[in-house]
Amino acid sequence: MKKSGVLAFLFILLLLYPVIAQEEEGIDKAYLCLENQIANKTSGSLSLQEAVFSTLALGSESKLTDKIEDERSNQNCWPKESCTIKDTAQVLIAYDRINKNTESIQSYLLSRNGSATDLTWYLQVDISNHIPSACTFTYDERDYQVSIGEDMKISGSAGSCLQLSSSGYWLQISRNCFEKTFQVSCDEDFITSLLYQKSGSETIYVSSETHSAPSSGTTEERVDSQCFKSGSSCDYEGTLWAALALQKAGEEISSFLPYLLALSEDHNNLFPSSFLYLLTSGDDQYSQITQAQKTAGFWEAPNTKYNKFYDTSLGLLALQDSSAAESDTAKAYLLSVQTPKGCWNNNNIRDTAFLLYSGWPRGVSSGGGEGEGGELTCAGAGYYCGSQFDCAESEGQILNEFSCQGFQSCCSVPIIEQTCSEKSGVLCSFSEQCSGTEVSSVEGTCCLGSCRPITLETSECEDNGGFCSSFCEDNEEQASYSCGNSGGVCCIPSESSGGISLIWIVLLAILILLVVLGIIFRDKIKLWWFKMRNRKNSDKSPSEMSGPRPPPRFPPVQRGPPIQRQPLMRRPQPRRASSRADSDMEETLRKLKEMSK
């Protein structure tokens, strides 16, 4: 490496300082704006939602906790006038955030669960090597003999609880038999599993659990499908929040997943894939999140129940612990549309607090009090944070006595994420789109398909530098350009926008890339610098200053035969443990921020 190259690199680092400082300034401004908005209100004038989400962002403050406690009913649910599953679950998450005792809230939520009867369930038997077999189904102390052919079709009667499906491959479980346990035994090695679908839908889901047994062995299957109910009906949004809250509190929530997965298409306005990715780490949910991001960088669910800032908070929360570029894109957009005071959505307290908690969370203080105390962090105890599903894939144990940031759980073993090439995928450039499923990898979003040039049918609004949304912000101007089939109104950022300009954001991305390259070749830089300081008057041979070696080439990936896939329930490979290079990069960026102050 030549001396001029090092000087250029150092010059670029100097240029990076003000960019990082400006981004940090935008975040600080948002936190200050939120604090000021709360300071201008009394406890009584705050809404429950404002108090809950502000607690998530700022931690334990008396004005916020006073409001939350004032809304508590004598049943330990919220709000006291008319308790809802959603509000109660959100309070549980907020109290868990400030290390406040939540046992009574958990007990209330668990008392509101019930059977989800909106699903149709099937029992499937798969004979090893697909050879004919005779099987026995046992329930209600009676045995039923059936035959399974070479084509895996079932013949014979399995009683009133197990009716032959129209395809002939499965046994449909009668609704009045969901509480029964079915024992299965075959004269060949076999596997049993449960399948389910929403009534009236053609999509079949495969349960995450399968059971196998050798010839003459026995397996057991039982339907376990739960939801949280408001009155006598399942509450989908309430179940989303309650499952998330209870999983964070260490409860087992797998029985709620069939209901949430199968009915997700009926509730797209709630952005369910963001919740489901936090609950399952599923590849399909990850793909749905990344593909749902708008061109401008925000998320907004179809016919959303809330707004683009609330939905963007959900998207950021889901991707909080990933390397997805979509998260950085969303943050860049948000920093460019802050109000002059630094908040979002016309200085909306709830939305500003939710965005800060999801996109730029900071350590908070806990409330203290009877039954409360400081939790030990997972990393401080020498363990590893990650999703529960990823921990299970790594054959680890969940350690609920230690805390992790966000909705991660503490795992007893390192969680290792695969690279995109290890997942037999490819990384698409910014000018390309994936033709298949997008999954998470250590490098970011990985395409399990091919990368194709983006061919967007842009609307008149986008052709004129705008984007389509349900409404425009104060620092955006509503234009008359058409949004086409996407609907909404056309918004164009005003020149007086108080956020970070797009030019700075692009420059920041380029400079960060150069910093990463510097970290990768840091040993070469150190070697060159050492030689420069210690060189003698004698000339050096050109061979002594050899450049860096080219990166190793990966062998071509050979795809194997297709395997049977479990729709929407397949778990991705666990995440890669932080490497030394990652630590060096974090330390470098930290020093840059300090130097910029």
Are the C-beta atoms of 225 and 259 separated by less than 8 Å? yes
Are the C-beta atoms of 593 and 302 separated by less than 8 Å? no
**Mean of the pLDDT values across residues 399-412?**
86
**Mean of the pLDDT values across residues 351-362?**
96
Bridge-based pairing of strands 402-403 and 376-377 is: parallel
Bridge-based pairing of strands 162-164 and 384-386 is: unpaired
Per-residue DSSP letter, 316: H
The pLDDT-based confidence of 496 (bands split at 50, 70, 90) is: low
Specify the 3-state DSSP secondary structure of 438.
Answer: strand
Element (H, E) at 92: helix 85-97
Report pLDDT for 92. Answer: 98
Give the C-alpha separation, 347 to 34, whole Å. 8
pLDDT of residue 212 exceeding 90: yes
pLDDT of residue 427 exceeding 60: yes
491 to 237, 303, 345, 484, 576: CA distances (angstroms): 30, 18, 14, 14, 40
Are the C-beta atoms of 245 and 255 separated by less than 8 Å? no
Name which of 105-114, 203-212, 377-386, 489-498 the model is least confident about: 489-498
Per-residue DSSP letter, 428: -
The pLDDT-based confidence of 348 (bands split at 50, 70, 90) is: very high
Report pLDDT for 438. Answer: 87
Quote the pTM value. 0.76
**Mean of the pLDDT values across residues 108-126?**
94
Non-local CB neighbours of 467 within 8 Å, separated by 6+ positions: 294, 295, 296, 461, 490, 491
Q: What backbone torsions phi and psi does residue 126 show, to the nearest 5 degrees?
A: -115, 115
Q: What backbone torsions phi and psi does residue 493 show, to the nearest 5 degrees?
A: -55, 135
Give the DSSP letter string of 3-29: HHHHHHHHHHHHHHHHHHHHHHHHHHH
Which amino acid, residue 515? V
Report pLDDT for 17. Answer: 53
pLDDT > 70 in the chain, percent: 76
183 to 48, 104, 208, 217: CA distances (angstroms): 49, 37, 19, 10
Name which of 5-19, 68-82, 428-442, 549-563 the model is least confident about: 549-563
Element (H, E) at 432: strand 432-434
Specify the 3-state DSSP secondary structure of 426.
Answer: strand
Name which of 25-29, 156-160, 532-536 the model is least confident about: 532-536
Report pLDDT for 182. Answer: 98
Residue for token pair 């054959």: 395
Give the C-alpha separation, 49 to 201, whole Å. 35
Per-residue DSSP letter, 230: E
Are the C-beta atoms of 413 and 396 separated by less than 8 Å? yes
Give the C-alpha separation, 389 to 596, whole Å. 40
Mean pLDDT of the chain: 82
Element (H, E) at 245: helix 236-248
Give the C-alpha separation, 334 to 313, whole Å. 10
The pLDDT-based confidence of 464 (bands split at 50, 70, 90) is: confident
For residues 138-151, one letter each, b for 16 or more C-beta atoms within 10 angstroms of the residue's C-beta and e for the rest, the string is: bbeeeebebebeee
Q: Which of 315, 347, 313, 331 is nearest to 32 (CA)?
A: 347
Report pLDDT for 544. Answer: 37
pLDDT of residue 393 exceeding 70: yes
Report pLDDT for 498. Answer: 47
Report pLDDT for 560. Answer: 35
Positive or negative CA dihedral for 147, 152, 153, 158? positive
Per residue in 48-86, pLDDT (tens digit) is 999 999 999 999 999 999 999 999 999 999 999 999 999
**Mean of the pLDDT values across residues 317-342?**
92
